[in-house]
């Protein structure tokens, strides 16, 4: 749902050339993001995932670890990286939970597309100002 909503919103904002990659788990996201960022082919990278097992401390550990690593990659490469990695507590596969998270992921897809588009515009302006000696 996140991917579908993201692609719909990013297309509505006339951003093209989106590549999709899958990784085996959330811990693998930062390394894949770093390799992609280092190619210099991507102006932004969006990571999405759902961590549903392991208890509250595992969820917090995974989320904190992945977000910190993505931030490190972003700062090292100067390629903005966005996260829609969710770690719901007490997830269970009931119809109500599945419906809630489908809607929640769709919302997160739209939000991450908005953040990505707005950041790309902001960075373009900032880099132009820096190049012109204004900032």
Q: How many helices (H) and strands (E) does the chain have?
A: 4, 2
Known catalytic membership, residue 103: no
Residue 23: Cβ-neighbour burial (10 angstroms; 0-12, 13-18, 19+): middle
Instruction: Map residue 47 onto helix, strand or coil.
Output: strand
Contacts of 16 (CB under 8 A, 6+ apart): none
Catalytic one of 40, 58, 102, 127: 58
- Residues belonging to the active site: 58
């Amino acid at each position: 749902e996140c991917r579908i909503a993201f692609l719909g919103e990013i297309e509505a904002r006339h951003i093209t050339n989106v590549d999709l990659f899958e990784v085996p788990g959330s811990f693998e996201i930062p390394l894949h993001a770093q390799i992609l960022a280092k190619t210099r082919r991507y102006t932004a990278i969006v990571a999405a995932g759902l961590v549903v097992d392991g208890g509250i401390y595992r969820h917090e550990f995974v989320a904190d670890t992945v977000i910190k690593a993505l931030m490190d990659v972003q700062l090292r490469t100067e390629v903005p990286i966005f996260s829609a990695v969710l770690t719901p507590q007490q997830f269970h596969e009931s119809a109500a939970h599945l419906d809630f998270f489908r809607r929640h992921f769709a919302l997160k897809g739209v939000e991450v597309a908005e953040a990505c588009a707005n950041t790309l515009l902001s960075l373009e302006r900032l880099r132009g100002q820096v190049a012109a000696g204004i900032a």
